[in-house]
Amino acid sequence: MPEPLVSVIIVNHNRAALLEACLRSLLKPQGVPFEVVVVDNGSQDDSAAVVERFASGAPFPVRLLRNAENLGFCAANNQGIRASAAPFVALLNNDAEAEPYWLAHLHAAFEDPRVGMAASKILVYDDPRVIDKAGHLIWLDGQNRGRGTGEVDHGQYDRIEEVLWPDGCACMYRRAMLDEIGLFDEDLFAYGDDAELGLRARIAGWRCLYVPQAVARHHRGATLGVASPRRLALIERNRVLLAVKHFPLDLLLLNPLFFALRAVAGAWAALRGRGEAGRIEGAGGKLMAFLAVLRGDWEALALLPRTWRKRRALRPLQRLSNTEVRRLLLRHRIRLRELSEQAAFPRGADQRA
């Protein structure tokens, strides 16, 4: 069996059926030699047995790393990356499935030695006419959203082009880049982790290409659930930490203003039943979401000193000037109306807490 060119890392927690479908999707021809490392975060279902059965007949190496508890997306991916050795690392969510030659198409993006990341075209599993993400965009308070989320795919994202960073659901990284800039920030636990790593890489001078031929399909909202208070708190906490860690000082000082603009626009959209907040049912549900956001801000406050120390420690890696970082964020910003009125998940997505 040839040496793997790509190590595919799959993190799992209590999603045996989704995990099995994810693994089976990699049986489709992928065009490059690869291995799979599954990191199981203390599952109580039969996830481990699923991996062991699959590995016994798989035409590629499959390893299982088992944790006694849920260490989170960041720590588990880091664990899998450290346990692998291929020159390229692909991440595939356990609730995603790869299409044929997904890996080969992503790998083809790395001909330029300054490309450190490759983004997939991620489609909604239940309706593959709809785009989940085609790279990422950002609002200037640190909130990010998938490019093209919720749009019907009629070829508008069918060219290879530079994007801000890839979505961690289905992507590829150059290991040399990770060796230079470090792995996922484990303080984030989950959500916004790909944004932090991606922006850190861009500031260090690495590029990211979006490859529309590299297709994966994603069961949206299957991790914590769309309206989960914990999900909302983590998203809010981590967008604050992202800004503190990486934004130029002038943008950071304006962060409360940009947050206020987004909050007002989101509230107006919610009153009309639009946007993500508009999908949360009832006054009680909206109050719960508001309190979750406040909790996220409180948790971010506690982590600010450590995050500021990380910001200072990253200065030797910075290749872009503050002006260039500002231009990068402005070039890839999402329009406020699009952010406030666009739902991150469609109606009918998983609503489990």
**Cα–Cα–Cα angle for 282, 287, 288, rounded to 5 degrees:** 100
Q: Is 21 inside any structural domain? A: yes
Cβ-contact 118, 106 below 8 angstroms = yes
- Compute the chain's Rg from CA coordinates: 19
Both 243 and 158 in one domain: the answer is no
Close Cβ partners of 325 (under 8 Å, ≥ 6 residues apart): 202, 203, 246, 247, 248
Q: Is 126 inside any structural domain? A: yes
Q: Is 33 inside any structural domain? A: yes
Q: Give the residue among 333, 343, 348, 341 at the shortest CA–CA distance from 136.
A: 333
Q: Is the pLDDT of residue 138 over 90?
A: yes
Tally helices (H) and strands (E) across the chain: 13, 12
Both 212 and 235 in one domain: the answer is no
Both 19 and 92 in one domain: the answer is yes
Both 44 and 90 in one domain: the answer is yes
Task: State which of 218, 241, 260 marks the end of a domain.
Answer: 218
The rounded mean pLDDT for the chain is 92
Q: Is 69 inside any structural domain? A: yes
Both 62 and 167 in one domain: the answer is yes
Both 101 and 203 in one domain: the answer is yes
Both 250 and 162 in one domain: the answer is no
Q: What number of other Cβ atoms are within 10 A of residue 229's Cβ?
A: 18
Task: State which of 196, 218, 240 marks the end of a domain.
Answer: 218
Q: Where are the alpha helices (DSSP H) in the chain?
A: 16-25, 47-57, 72-83, 102-107, 175-181, 193-203, 229-246, 249-253, 255-271, 275-278, 282-313, 322-331, 336-341
Which pLDDT tens digit goes with each residue over 226-279?
568 898 999 999 999 999 999 999 999 999 999 999 999 988 887 777 777 666
Both 252 and 135 in one domain: the answer is no
Sequence letter at residue 187:
D
Predicted confidence band at 352 (pLDDT cuts at 50, 70, 90)?
very low
HEC assignment per residue over 109-122: HHHCCCEEEEEEEE
Both 207 and 264 in one domain: the answer is no
Q: Is the pLDDT of residue 351 over 50?
A: no
Task: State which of 148, 183, 218 marks the end of a domain.
Answer: 218
Cβ-contact 95, 18 below 8 angstroms = yes
Both 161 and 50 in one domain: the answer is yes
Both 274 and 212 in one domain: the answer is no
What's the domain count of the chain?
2
Q: Is 282 inside any structural domain? A: yes
Q: Are strands 136-138 and 144-146 parallel, antiparallel or unpaired?
A: antiparallel
Q: Is 13 inside any structural domain? A: yes
Greatest C-alpha distance within the chain: 58
Lowest mean pLDDT among 23-27, 277-281, 287-291, 296-300: 277-281
Q: Is 277 inside any structural domain? A: yes
Q: Give the residue among 181, 40, 213 at the shortest CA–CA distance from 116.
A: 181
Which pLDDT tens digit goes with each residue over 28-57?
999 999 999 999 999 999 999 999 999 999
pLDDT for residue 14: 96
Say what the pTM is: 0.93
Both 190 and 243 in one domain: the answer is no
Residue whose tokens read 């309706």: 127
Domain of 313 in residue numbering reads as: 229-341
